[in-house]
Amino acid sequence: MPQWSTSCPDWKQRIVDGRSLIPFDPLFPDVAAAKMDLFTSLRLMDVTGQPTIGEASDERLLDFARAVFGAYDPETGNQLITEFMLLIAKKNTKSTLAAALLLTELALGWRHEDENLVLGPTKEVADNCFQPAKAMARADPRLRELLHIQEHQRLITHRQTKSTLKVVAADSNTVSGKKSSRVIVDELWLFGPQANAGNMFQEATGGQISKPEGYTIWLTTQSDKPPAGVYKEKLNYFRDVRDGKIIDNKKLPILYEFPEEMIANGEHLDPKNFYVTNPNLGRSVSQSWLESKLQEKQAGDKADLNVFLAKHLNIENGMGLRSDSWAGAEFWELGADPAITLDQIIERSEVIIVGLDGGGLDDLYGLTVLGRESEDAGADAAPETEYDDTGTRVRVKRWLSWSHAWAHSVVLERRKSIAGKLKELESAGELTILPDGAMSETGLPADIAAILDVILQIRDAGLLCCVAVDPAGLGELVDALAAVDIIEDNKPLGRDYIIGAPQGYAMMNALKTAERKLANGTLLHADQALMTWCVANLKIEATATAIRATKQSAGDAKIDAAMALFNAVTIMATNPDACRSIYETQGLRVI
């Protein structure tokens, strides 16, 4: 039995050096060589000169095929590596490789009545695999006699074994009951937002239980939006396998992405480094085209640039920003501090404001806890000191933010496009999904009861300044807070009061204050996917006298937790007095 490891801890050096990302030779080289003879001889009929795959592909891509073929043990009939993930930039023959892999397996396979399946998220993506498979089969005299092609069904059948290669646009109906031994999923990133994608893949790959020679290949470019759902789960898992954080030698990651250090230094934008994520550069990918397009996108809309970087350089799109996004979103990731928790904010703050924003059952109920860091919060949390125009020392204290949200299960039905995202946030512990009409033991609606618990925890610590809410969104919260002596009041900074967060000009000030503090490092937030998502969904619109924040797309793009932050900022920006005593420093004022 061969010994191998699919982790590749030196991948950064390998990818910069242009070396293979597969850290071992084919486990069964004779099997790999036999299948590679056919694979590399298949012709690319839509390419000038109609070269073979062997002639048109970089050696690193051929190594990928060798690894797949060479993981089959001919003595036991077992495929020793059963899952592969190839993350690669557009136009690097990804779909063509998939077609050729399964065409080779179909032609040389021994099992009768077998199924080989390619799943594409759309008809167009499915055609990207079937068209080259069909053309390669017809161009090879051996395959032309051996295989029967039915174009209208996207089906190729082995005339002797009756095994098939089927290319389908995937949905639950098309994959239900499949008994495929080998499955290739093309453009996995497009399945990310689909709530049922995980179940659909289980259906598609279920036949491998009784076919030990089977395997699954996940093919994808980077998403043009922040990774989500099953795509995010698979990508993170395969990254951890690659980095050695997870030992799983049945899964092989081949991920063409820039090392983080190169991105941080802007080296990914240097044309001389385009080869890093484009192993087929100079063959199926044009260097001059990439350079021209990058220059064009850099001069245009930032959202278009982000899409270009995601598709052609495999740069993960953290925020998916558009030209009308909130300016602070560009700095959001810079303010992330994973050490921040609710308990940490209570421990480190001198005053806390709770911001709330909630709608109906179709929306989230967002809560943000915003604390102003105390002077004695610790050496690592020491506030910065600056001088104003008069030479007076000014302490700019940092603000610390943590958020949570609640949703009712009805939103999963009404907003199916984000159901997967909501379940992902629930798994992360950042969102609570409640049964419709859920009540607490105290007789309060379950979400209101949970929000009240957070508020009382802060008040019991002696740090609560007020609860800031959109005046239009008070509803049943008022009665719940009044029962614990937190009441509505018009005082601008009253203790233990509900305050209607000013909208209009005051909200514009909150938006601008938050973005400035993010940019200068004095607004830190818990590194939460919930807020990253909500902030990315913000759209800024100009009104007659100010600006306002709204959703990028009505209904599905939730922003409630972000609006809860801004509600809290409207009050914190007025510099409320500290609840906790602080050291007095001569000649120092706090802003």
Q: Are residues 254 and 355 in the same domain?
A: no
Q: Please check whether residue 281 lies inside any domain of the structure.
A: no
pLDDT over 90 at 396, yes or no: no
Q: Are residues 370 and 481 in the same domain?
A: yes
Which domain, by its residues, includes 20? 11-262
pLDDT over 80 at 471, yes or no: no
Instruction: State mean pLDDT over 256-271.
Output: 90
Number of domains within the chain: 2
The whole-angstrom separation of Cα 578 and Cα 567 is 19
Share of the chain above pLDDT 90, in %: 54
Question: Which uninterrupted H or E stretch holds 517?
Answer: helix 505-519
Instruction: State mean pLDDT over 388-412.
Output: 80
Q: What angle do CA 250, 256, 259 make, to 5 degrees?
A: 110
Tokens of 384: 């910065």
Q: Are residues 31 and 130 in the same domain?
A: yes
Instruction: State mean pLDDT over 33-42.
Output: 97
The predicted pLDDT at position 588 comes to: 32
Instruction: State mean pLDDT over 243-250.
Output: 95
Instruction: State mean pLDDT over 409-436.
Output: 86
Q: Please check whether residue 285 lies inside any domain of the structure.
A: no
The whole-angstrom separation of Cα 588 and Cα 385 is 9
The predicted pLDDT at position 484 comes to: 79
pLDDT over 90 at 182, yes or no: yes
Q: Are residues 236 and 342 in the same domain?
A: no
- Is residue 458 within 8 A of residue 464, CB to CB? The reply is yes
Q: Are residues 242 and 339 in the same domain?
A: no
Last residue of a domain, one of 238, 262, 286: 262
Q: Are residues 336 and 479 in the same domain?
A: yes
The predicted pLDDT at position 472 comes to: 64
Q: Are residues 339 and 196 in the same domain?
A: no
User: Which is higher by pLDDT, 377 or 535?
Assistant: 535
Last residue of a domain, one of 220, 244, 262: 262
The predicted pLDDT at position 324 comes to: 59
Last residue of a domain, one of 241, 262, 283: 262
Share of the chain above pLDDT 70, in %: 85
Q: How far is CA 396 from CA 16, 330, 372, 509, in A?
A: 42, 22, 10, 17
Cα-based torsion angle of the residue sequence 555, 192, 92, 39 in order, rounded to the nearest 10 degrees = -140
Q: What are the pLDDT digits (tens) for 308-361?
A: 999 999 998 765 455 556 877 878 888 999 999 999 999 999 999 999 988 666
Instruction: State mean pLDDT over 229-252.
Output: 94
Q: Please check whether residue 396 lies inside any domain of the structure.
A: yes
Q: Are residues 84 and 190 in the same domain?
A: yes
Instruction: State mean pLDDT over 538-556.
Output: 56
- Least confident interval from 211-215, 299-303, 462-466: 299-303
What backbone torsions phi and psi does residue 145 show, to the nearest 5 degrees? -80, -30
- Is residue 141 within 8 A of residue 107, CB to CB? The reply is no
The b/e string for 153-190 (b: 16+ C-beta within 10 A; e otherwise) is ebbbbbeebebbbbbbebeeebbeebebbbbbbbbbbb
Which runs of consecutive H residues, i.e. helices, occur in 388-445?
A: 410-414, 416-427
Residue 306: pLDDT band with limits 50, 70, 90: confident
Residue 577 DSSP one-character state: P
The whole-angstrom separation of Cα 366 and Cα 562 is 8
Best-predicted range by mean pLDDT (337-351, 357-371, 462-476) = 337-351
pLDDT over 90 at 64, yes or no: yes
557: nearest Cα among 193, 190, 191: 193
The predicted pLDDT at position 411 comes to: 85
The predicted pLDDT at position 328 comes to: 77
Residue 210 DSSP one-character state: G
Instruction: State mean pLDDT over 512-535.
Output: 91
Strand, helix or coil at 488? strand
Q: Please check whether residue 287 lies inside any domain of the structure.
A: no
The b/e string for 43-76 (b: 16+ C-beta within 10 A; e otherwise) is bbeebeeeebbeebbbebbbbbbbbbbbbbbeee
pLDDT over 80 at 362, yes or no: no
Q: Please check whether residue 306 lies inside any domain of the structure.
A: no
The predicted pLDDT at position 125 comes to: 87
Instruction: State mean pLDDT over 115-132.
Output: 89
The whole-angstrom separation of Cα 286 and Cα 305 is 18
Q: Are residues 575 and 435 in the same domain?
A: yes
Residue 303: pLDDT band with limits 50, 70, 90: confident
What is the overall mean pLDDT for the chain?
85
Q: Are residues 244 and 331 in the same domain?
A: no
The CATH code of the domain that includes 23 is: 3.40.50.300
User: Which is higher by pLDDT, 324 or 374?
Assistant: 374
Q: What is the pTM of this model?
A: 0.69
Q: Are residues 480 and 338 in the same domain?
A: yes
Q: What are the pLDDT digits (tens) for 482-518?
A: 777 776 654 444 455 778 777 665 677 888 888 899 9
The predicted pLDDT at position 393 comes to: 55
User: Which is higher by pLDDT, 481 or 518?
Assistant: 518
- Least confident interval from 200-204, 449-453, 491-495, 520-524: 491-495
- Least confident interval from 276-280, 365-369, 407-411, 498-502: 498-502
Residue 390: pLDDT band with limits 50, 70, 90: low
The whole-angstrom separation of Cα 478 and Cα 468 is 12
User: Which is higher by pLDDT, 417 or 526?
Assistant: 526
Q: Please check whether residue 335 lies inside any domain of the structure.
A: yes
Q: Are residues 116 and 222 in the same domain?
A: yes
- Is residue 284 within 8 A of residue 273, CB to CB? The reply is no
Instruction: State mean pLDDT over 279-285.
Output: 94
Q: Please check whether residue 180 lies inside any domain of the structure.
A: yes
Q: Please check whether residue 159 lies inside any domain of the structure.
A: yes
In this structure, are strands 523-525 and 399-408 parallel, antiparallel, or unpaired?
A: parallel
- Residue the block writes with tokens 């909630």: 358
The predicted pLDDT at position 382 comes to: 45
Q: What are the pLDDT digits (tens) for 339-348?
A: 999 999 999 9
The predicted pLDDT at position 590 comes to: 36
Residue 477: pLDDT band with limits 50, 70, 90: confident
